[in-house]
Structure 1
């Protein structure tokens, strides 16, 4: 029996997993969510004996039920292969009392690779299953990492084009260089004069524009998304939390069934939502610790029950989290509102028109598994420096936000559950911020000189993703105003 998917904003007819992957966003502007979250079927004691690919299949077969075993295994095996620089795909590193889940060993050295390596295969398989003849246009906004990972995943994939918008002055130099040097005749990268929320709002507006969809349909195109609003992007993220727990059991760090905490640096809420789904599936999780940077809209929400984006947007050293509208939070809101689409829709309309909404005490009680925390820029830098001095282990700025929040949480609560910290990007992606945190004397060096210094200091090899952009030509130099995004897309698809 197929697991169906329902929009968070209406009681429209549920659709299959492959249809939800193809559409990305529901016609009513809602996000697709499974009608029920399935329970994981493999005993926890057996998890540690399974490879990453085997774990991925056991998770995804429960969500993508209209894919055959052959189709799903083909997608998984093509995604999680030698493009990852470790056989383990997502290794765990123990440092200073916590377990860092390294999610940055893919082609673009950020956690987005974990899902965006498989999404193109899921999408093209879904298109064949549903007899889609149109060319699929992947339309995506990025705060830095999704863009490159999506571009790398979809480059030269037959039957697709990919258009990525990013805030021109809101990503790191390495992130920007990775995107603007991307090869592929079907790839398009546009910087916008605005922030990530502007880019995300522009993309959502195009998805919701029925006239634009009709015009593009007449030209043989249809939109889909590579953002975590796409359920085909979100489900693969569940896998690594379950896999990591298996490694803890196998290594004797926890007993099967023993609860752990999961700490996630969060902007758009997708990565921690995946951990929540893992818990709902039966993973023994005590607390889901949501770590924010100085754009602490999520921290304030968990403290007060009021989501309020009416505040200054702050550019930080963890730019992938510089977000004030956390799109995936809508999926949690829908869930804790007892899956009441009308209530959820009213709150999302309030967010759109007034910039805020409030949840009820009952809904807040339904989110008791979540804990919010945030780290200042000073705390983030201090955490990088202190961890390096204590252990020699170097983490990036986003991971440092999570590590700082974790330390504050344990000090305040004395909670001694073993904890996994999602390490979402390689420090090589944010070398200037990382190296300046460790020693301010590096400030005069160029970004690529800092890469070499980081390699010496951390005793790690420079990732191939960095080596290949040292002298790469800039292939994308389009910049537009935030209100010209649709016009730019229409020019590309003429």
Structure 2
């Protein structure tokens, strides 16, 4: 029997207070009579925090404890009362005093439907402030009463493992709750109630099996501190030592909307990412991808920016029927101790779908409705179609105020990637090819974001503000952390490892965002040992990790079969250097100013040692990439896309085979059909993308051809293709022309 049961038994045996008050006086005095019969608990200092500060932040709010029967709401409420000195109210006891009979007797007497109605009506007339309230397990099933309670309360959900709940209820001999009837298992009732708990909570406390009541109470207080506080973000180039010293610290909403910091740096959390305990991670092993995403986002996005209930709605929409595999990001054994993390089951068949199915929903929720927004971005291929698909899922009203303009290197992406993007053309979206490479496009767009004269002109003249949706945007990067954590949990679920066993990850890397998301997963508690950075012949990252020298002076981008890696200046390297430099914004500013001015920098030796402690890197030639696709298909029947093949080659060279290595399969092979067919030694290859897809499909290999890509290619034929010269002023003119067409001119 858990320690929480023991604490509950002690409470029931030695009742700390009794409420002897009649129904009429309880309701008519509007809470005053309730207060007169409560005892405030002796206050003592909590070892983890200043509770006086917490209480002052809460103003007149109640702490409302919500959870299933047996979750320990009353027991934890008593301890919270002792810790804070606030009065504690047990709703079950209040009901019993009102009805003059036990809750079980009342339920047996009138049945489920009338019980919920009467219970809800009493709660609706209940009024009190600055107290701890322990709800019954069925209170959340009455919407009107919960709206009433939530108005003056911070609702804390004690999310206890089902196994623990069943054990407690058996020990407490609970044999009658709402919904329980012959032939219906208690487990089914508890699972069905989760939907009601998810509707109301502000804070979720993820309890571990066997947690003591004291531990849970401390978690509640930690959650309340976070809820009542704020989470700030800073630029990687900020020289302030703390957010308090910054002129304008930013919230999650700010960084989501702004995308790029005004000083040219990238936004990062002012404090470290929240680290989850081993027990909390273990709670998620059996959870579906959507629940894993929900928990990690709740820990990383402040409820003032996006409440938990809104996050849940977004997560369900983002990772639902639009993914071809119901496991969303499945992990597949490839060979020996190598595993593929399949990130291509989304609607546009690339890893970018994981961020960009949810990011537009965040935009629509957080963006002020007084302004129109243009999501301005550049892509090396996959990001473009992913954000266009995400935007297409928004409501018509949101599409009226949010538009997308995407620039891409005209000859730097695959034909199928180009056809995918063009197929989304519409009133609020546009794609434009640029007669240059990705680095030029990215630099031009970053310069526009840091040009206050131009951005100010767009706002004043057209009432339109700019934002971005690639991995420059912190929110995009955050959403990628989830699948790296999920892959590790799936290896546990499959019995390959147990929690704490190390793994390596090998990721084909262009702009450094995907691999940085894996670094952040480690910061949150996933035990990743080594990060293997895989490059193609555009191998500036390989040289940087090996030498600490980022040198672009004598390099030009070479087009390849893996265009997502055709990047020399990788934006998210800046975020990683800020992390390993322990937030030294001055150093980061100096390094990237030098890169801007002279196209190279050298990190100090101390920093290089930290980088090489975690990272190894290598690169793969075109010939080796093609050979890897062929050999893997011949031996396993599985087809790798060129980016994944690059990672496979590098993993073979760099892993030491002492632990599993997870290779990120970042795109479906059908997106790069011409190169894949060449690798598989098909002699006659059609120039038409639709024909190439049919040829690939005829091989009957894994993975099967992506149906959504097939559908998209068929829609692209009638769309007009547009290109512009490699001239920043031409790009600015294109932006203004698009805004003129989309948004009403301000008079």
User: Which interval holds the TM-score relative to the shorter structure?
Assistant: over 0.9
Residue number among 326, 329, 334 corresponding to 2:578 in the alignment? 334
Q: Is the 8 A contact 1:6 1:15 kept in 2?
A: yes
Give distance in 2, aligned partners of 1:14 and 1:276.
24
Aligned to 2:562: 318
Shift of 1:459: 5.3
Residue number among 362, 372, 383 corresponding to 2:628 in the alignment? 383
Give distance in 2, aligned partners of 1:370 and 1:460.
30
**TM-score after normalising by structure 2:** 0.64
Q: Is the 8 A contact 2:416 2:713 kept in 1?
A: no
Shift of 1:450: 2.4
Q: Is the 8 A contact 2:638 2:702 kept in 1?
A: no
Shift of 1:168: 0.5
Give distance in 2, aligned partners of 1:57 and 1:476.
40
Shift of 1:62: 1.6
Q: Is the 8 A contact 2:689 2:713 kept in 1?
A: no
Shift of 1:215: 1.1
Give distance in 2, aligned partners of 1:133 and 1:464.
39
Name the SS for the 1:338 alignment partner. Answer: coil
Residue number among 43, 48, 51 corresponding to 2:280 in the alignment? 43
Mark the CA change 1:313 to 1:57 in structure 2 (over 3 Å): closer, same or farther. Answer: same
Q: Is the 8 A contact 1:99 1:419 kept in 2?
A: yes
Name the SS for the 2:658 alignment partner. Answer: coil
Aligned to 1:480: 724
**TM-score after normalising by structure 1:** 0.96
Aligned pair 1:23/2:268, yes or no?
no
Give distance in 2, aligned partners of 1:422 and 1:47.
21
Residue number among 387, 407, 411 corresponding to 1:150 in the alignment? 387
Shift of 1:439: 1.1
1:277-356 aligned at under 5 Å gives the runs: 277-310=520-553, 311-356=555-600
Residue number among 298, 304, 322 corresponding to 1:61 in the alignment? 298
Give distance in 1, aligned partners of 2:265 and 2:664.
27
Shift of 1:3: 2.3
Aligned pair 1:362/2:606, yes or no?
yes
Q: Kindly provide the CA deviation profile for residues 84-105 of structure 1, in whole angstroms up to 9, marking residues without a partner as x.
A: 1111111111111211001011
Aligned to 2:739: 493
Shift of 1:43: 3.1
Q: Is the 8 A contact 2:377 2:445 kept in 1?
A: yes
Aligned to 1:451: 693
Q: Is the 8 A contact 1:264 1:272 kept in 2?
A: yes
Aligned to 1:124: 364
Give distance in 1, aligned partners of 2:684 and 2:673.
10
Q: Is the 8 A contact 1:112 1:149 kept in 2?
A: yes
Give distance in 1, aligned partners of 2:683 and 2:705.
21
Instruction: Give unmatched runs, 5+ long, in structure 2.
Output: 1-225, 241-245, 741-747
Aligned to 2:471: 228
Shift of 1:59: 1.0
- Greater RCO, CA 8 A, separation 6+: 1
Name the SS for the 1:379 alignment partner. Answer: helix
Name the SS for the 2:545 alignment partner. Answer: helix
Aligned pair 1:419/2:661, yes or no?
yes
Shift of 1:15: 1.3
Give distance in 1, aligned partners of 2:687 and 2:456.
51
Give distance in 2, aligned partners of 1:317 and 1:392.
21
Would you say how many aligned residue pairs link Structure 1 and Structure 2? Answer: 488
Shift of 1:470: 3.7
Shift of 1:456: 2.4
Give distance in 1, aligned partners of 2:510 and 2:459.
33
Give distance in 2, aligned partners of 1:299 and 1:248.
28
Shift of 1:246: 0.9
Report which stretch shifted further, 286-295 or 467-476.
467-476
Aligned to 2:42: none
Give distance in 1, aligned partners of 2:703 and 2:548.
43
Aligned pair 1:162/2:407, yes or no?
no
Aligned to 2:11: none
Q: Is the 8 A contact 2:511 2:571 kept in 1?
A: yes
Report which stretch shifted further, 236-245 or 305-314.
305-314
Give distance in 1, aligned partners of 2:371 and 2:385.
24
Q: Is the 8 A contact 2:318 2:357 kept in 1?
A: yes
Give distance in 2, aligned partners of 1:444 and 1:486.
37
Name the SS for the 1:100 alignment partner. Answer: strand
Give distance in 2, aligned partners of 1:464 and 1:107.
9
Q: How large is the RMSD of aligned CA atoms in angstroms? A: 1.4
Q: Is the 8 A contact 1:260 1:285 kept in 2?
A: yes
Q: Kindly provide the CA deviation profile for residues 283-320 of structure 1, in whole angstroms up to 9, marking residues without a partner as x.
A: 01110111001000000001110011221211110001
Q: Is the 8 A contact 2:376 2:406 kept in 1?
A: yes
Larger radius of gyration: 2
Residue number among 394, 414, 430 corresponding to 2:639 in the alignment? 394
Q: Is the 8 A contact 2:236 2:267 kept in 1?
A: yes
Give distance in 1, aligned partners of 2:636 and 2:362.
40
1:42-191 aligned at under 5 Å gives the runs: 43-65=280-302, 66=304, 67-97=306-336, 98-127=338-367, 131-155=368-392, 157=394, 158=398, 159-191=401-433
Name the SS for the 2:284 alignment partner. Answer: helix
Shift of 1:220: 1.1
Q: Kindly provide the CA deviation profile for residues 119-166 of structure 1, in whole angstroms up to 9, marking residues without a partner as x.
A: 001111111xxx451111100100000011111111374120000000
Give distance in 2, aligned partners of 1:459 and 1:201.
38
